[in-house]
Amino acid sequence: MPCQRQHSEPFVTITACAGVKATLAVAWFVWPQMLPGLQNERYLENHMKISSLATAALAFICLCLFQQAVADDPERAAAELEKAIHLKTDLENGRKVYLLCSVCHQPEGWGTVDGEYPQIAGQHTSVSIKQLADIRARNRDNPTMFPFTLVDHLTLQQLADASAYAAQLPMNPENATGAGDDLEHGKKLYEDNCAHCHGEEGEGVAEEHMPLIQGQQYRYLVRQFEWIRDGKRRNANPDMVEQIKNFTARDVSAVMDYVSRLRPPKKRLAEPGWRNPDFPDYWRIHFPPESSGHH
C-alpha cells in the first residue's frame, strides 16, 4: 500500500499520497474529454455511470484509509493530548515537520488577512497540540487540514515537535484588525467576559491549554467565536459558550477588534517584513507579501 507511514519526512509521504490520489481522481473525470476520438455521447454517458460508481468506490477506499480517524473521538483526543504534552520536543525535527505545515500556514505562521488561516506563530505548544489532536479525532472540524493530521502522516512526537516549532516563531507585527470604531465597548466586554480565562492581554495560559489570542487575525477570531457560540466547534469550552451566548453581532466585532489589537510583548514580535530564514527556498505564490491592513 503506497500510503503507509514509512518515510521519516512527513512531507514526502503527504505529497506522494495526496498527489497520487488527486491525480487519479482528476484523470478519471477529465481524460475522456481530452481524447478527441472518444467524445461521442454514448461513450460519455457510459463513462458518467462508471464515474459515479468509481466516485463511490473512491470514497469507500478513502474511508477505509482514514478509518482510524473517521469516528468523532473526544476521548482519543484527550488521551493524545495527555501523552503529547509530556513529550520532550525537538525543534530541529519540528522544523522538518513544519515544512508540511508551511504549505498552508506559510513559513512565518502568521495567518492571512482574510482569516482563512490563523496565526499559529507564538501559540502555546500545549494549545496547538490540543488543536491538532482534536482536529484529527474530528473533535474540531477542519476539513482542509484534517487529512494532513492523520496518524499515517504524523506521529505524536512529530505533532508535538511541529507545535513547539510554531510556538517559538516570532509573531506577526501587522496582523489584520477590525474597523477600530467601537473599541471602548470591546474593551469592557473583554474585561468582563474573557480576561479571567484568556488573560488581561490575551496571552492565554500554557498549563491549561488556554489559547493565546492577542494579535490574532481579526477575521479568524470572528469566525472561531461565532463557531464556538453556535456550537459548530465541538471542542469549545462549555463555560465559554455559556458566557458568550447572548453576544450580538455588534458585541462580537467590538470584542474581536479589541482582541486583535492586544499587542504581544515586543520581544515576541518580528520586525515588519521578516521572512523565516529556516525556509529560504519557499515559493510564495498565492499569498500577498504584506499581511497587514484592515478587514
148 is a site residue for ligand HEC (CB under 6 A): yes
Cell numbers at residue 35, please?
A: 481524447
- 249 to 75, 114, 244, 253: CA distances (angstroms): 34, 18, 11, 6
Binding test (CB under 6 A) with ligand HEC, winner from 182, 235, 263, 295: 235
206 is a site residue for ligand HEC (CB under 6 A): no
Kindly tell me which of 32 and 116 has the beta carbon lying closer to ligand HEC: 116
Cell numbers at residue 212, please?
A: 493565546
Taking a C-beta distance cutoff of 8 angstroms, is the pair 209, 130 a contact? yes
103 is a site residue for ligand HEC (CB under 6 A): yes
Q: How far is the CB of 62 from ligand HEC (least distance, A)?
A: 16
Binding test (CB under 6 A) with ligand HEC, winner from 4, 144, 272, 293: 144
Give long-range contacts, CB 8 A cutoff, 24+ apart: 99-105.
Answer: 99/9, 99/11, 99/279, 100/10, 100/11, 100/14, 100/148, 100/153, 100/162, 101/148, 101/162, 101/166, 102/279, 102/282, 104/144, 104/145, 105/166
Give residues 178-197 in contact with ligand HEC (rule: CB under 6 A): 189, 193-194, 197
198 is a site residue for ligand HEC (CB under 6 A): yes
Stretch that binds ligand HEC, among 55-63, 82-90, 231-239, 281-289 (CB under 6 A): 231-239
Q: How far is the CB of 108 from ligand HEC (least distance, A)?
A: 13
107 is a site residue for ligand HEC (CB under 6 A): no
Burial of 213 (0-12, 13-18, 19+ CB in 10 A): buried
Give the relative orientation of helices 183-193 and 249-261 as an angle to the nearest 10 degrees. 90
117 is a site residue for ligand HEC (CB under 6 A): yes
Given the rule CB under 6 A, which residues bind ligand HEC?
97, 100-101, 103-105, 116-118, 120, 123, 128, 130-132, 142, 144-145, 148, 154, 162-163, 166, 189, 193-194, 197-198, 210-211, 213, 221, 223-225, 235-237, 239-240, 243-244, 255, 259
